[in-house]
Chains A and B, each alone.
Chain A
């Protein structure tokens, strides 16, 4: 409903985002949770690769690469 909430793939490098929703399966949610990517956490986009490659997010000081298809399912807004 909120126009500012978009998949993280739609944001730019260096954008600071708060995660609003993760629309993936249980397994992926668990793996993301344990890496600190959860609803409410704040992440910074460090890198985006061309041609639907993975994204690189900085979460609490560590860099996490996430495949494009999964990134599309993570919704966030700018903070």
Chain B
């Protein structure tokens, strides 16, 4: 049997999913695309049941790829499946519009009145038995973030799946003839009418392009013309587009049901959450608090990371020393084992200090509802780059570490916005790059120059974003975003999310880091350093104008950027950089390292979040950009 969770965004669907399926869930891609859904298995009545968490959707008339895939999934022929429709009880009318559309699928279904406490707080009493009578499906009340009623919900879904009763067909006189006439044409042309024809008829009335195309292929011209004529007739008589007509009908039906099943009393009381937006979305204080929060977040991720990281680095150095004593410095065994340790250390050095605090904060921002406020506040700024407000979040996180930045891009719905934002995020100087900027520019040249590099970086990131937006013009109409109610997130749901995301990262990054480190250790073992330096010399010396010994530094820097500074010291044989490199050379090196190939962990994350092709494309683009900028800056400095 299969349970499919469907609901509008912010209805608390994922919290329910995470609390029942827990750490065993997996994120899957719809075939061929990067749209994700979560899947897990539970045991109910001695039976293994797949639970699917489809992306939140407001309606079943898809306007983007994610919604289309969700509908295709729902329409798949499969014997035993139950729809669990999760509803935010505090906005019942609007939520019921989706419920009515789901009922048109004619599958066994349970309605879950989630956040029932919110409805009570608003003074709305819902008689769930009356609602159940009208819809012809069981209705269960839950409070997802406190775990109330969830087991009853899944128990009920199991029972419904066993008896396999489909919901009632609720008819409305305004469109009933319309739907039936089209259903009949679709059915008779296909031999006999079955339940899918009614659903298809409704999609045709909704002017859904996917279904129009699908049915046009199947139907002959005569029948198609008949259907078009029926639709255009009603459009003329009602002087409205047929998709709007049917939506109006559903809206009215939902409102009627709402009136029948609820009793409106006085709101219990206003609590502090009603006042939060007065500050958080204020034209001035909103930005101040957002700035403060984001600063604190980067500071925390940074602070904790820098505090814990040396612990791992020290222990690794000790381990590496032990290995050297055991096997001897110039043995292949030492270099391979050392490579493995460096690789594992690299992964742990990112996961524990940076990713755990980051995921904790990101999950909290998401589940509490604050993320939507950030999107609102930053929309204006990001719009100038052709993006939407939410894109600012990955960029901000990118200052801490690029990996969480890229992972944060998952909150963006459109693949275009996601791609552009990820490219921009890879160009933001992360904390490791900051070490280089501070250690070289601020230390040897001036603090002002270091600030200048950051400003220069922001300008370049903005230009890159603008160019990419121009190349991929926006198709979406702009921001339409519901502000979810502030919620205290459920600890369990957050912990599950953190575990889930860490697992994904480790699975892809760890092998890459280990293999990369072993290769670089082997380079040392076979003493290929001079060879590589000579090979890179045309680039290092001619393009970047640096001593050729630095070639290997650039290569190793891909592994972990913070190594670049230490390697630079050892390559040029001194910590007194200005004694070897000119000011122009220091700038050239810093600019190149700031913009060039992202670190291995970043590349791994890009493969996971986008795909291999895009990861390579971004890597190449960044390197070319870095080289061009390094040359420009070097000559600019020389002229000045």
Contacts and interface: CB of A to CB of B under 8 A. Distances in A.
A and B associate in one complex = yes
Nearest to A51: B380
B207 interface: yes
Q: Which label, helix, strand, loop or mixed, suits the secondary structure of the A interface?
A: mixed
A35 B484 CA distance: 12
A58 B602 CA distance: 41
A21 to B, nearest CB: 12
B169 to A, nearest CB: 21
Given A34-B59, A69-B478, A29 B244 contact: yes
Contact of A27 (B277, B477, B481): B477
Interface string B265-286: 0000000000001000101000
A62 B247 CA distance: 19
B476 interface: yes
B448 interface: no
B292 interface: no
Interface stretch (B12-20, B90-98, B352-360, B421-429): B90-98
B483 A36 contact: no
Contacts of A50: 283
Contacts of A32: 480
A54 B374 CA distance: 12
Given A64-B481, A70-B480, 9 more contacts: A35-B94, A38-B247, A38-B251, A49-B283, A49-B379, A56-B281, A61-B91, A67-B379, A67-B480
A34 B97 contact: yes
A54 B380 contact: yes
Interface in B34-78: 58-59, 61, 63
A61 B479 contact: no
Contacts of A36: 93-94, 251
B483 A64 contact: yes
A56 B477 contact: no
Q: How large is the interface on A (under 10, 10 to 19, 20 to 34, 35 or more residues)?
A: 20 to 34
B146 interface: no
A53 B380 contact: yes
A70 B375 CA distance: 16
22 contacts: A27-B476, A28-B478, A34-B59, A35-B58, A35-B94, A36-B251, A38-B247, A54-B380, A56-B376, A60-B93, A60-B94, A61-B122, A62-B94, A65-B372, A65-B375, A65-B379, A65-B479, A65-B480, A66-B479, A67-B383, A67-B480, A70-B477
Q: How large is the interface on B (under 10, 10 to 19, 20 to 34, 35 or more residues)?
A: 35 or more
A69 B380 CA distance: 11
Interface string A37-79: 0110000000101111110100011111111111000000000
Contacts of B388: 67
B248 interface: yes
Q: Which of A32, A63, A64, A69 has the most chain B CB atoms inside 10 A of its CB?
A: A63
Q: Which label, helix, strand, loop or mixed, suits the secondary structure of the B interface?
A: helix
A31 interface: yes
A44 to B, nearest CB: 14
Nearest to B9: A35
B562 interface: no
Contact of B483 (A24, A33, A34, A63): A63
A29 to B, nearest CB: 7
A46 to B, nearest CB: 8
A63 B90 CA distance: 13
B482 A54 contact: no
Given A38-B247, A54-B376, A28 B477 contact: yes
B480 A31 contact: yes
B340 to A, nearest CB: 49
Give the top 6 A-B pairs by smallest Cβ distance, nearest first.
Answer: A67-B478, A28-B477, A67-B479, A34-B58, A53-B380, A63-B483
A60 B478 contact: no
Nearest to B63: A27
Nearest to A52: B380
Nearest to A64: B482
Contacts of A64: 480-483
A31 B94 CA distance: 12
Contacts of A67: 379, 383, 388, 477-480
A33 B283 contact: no
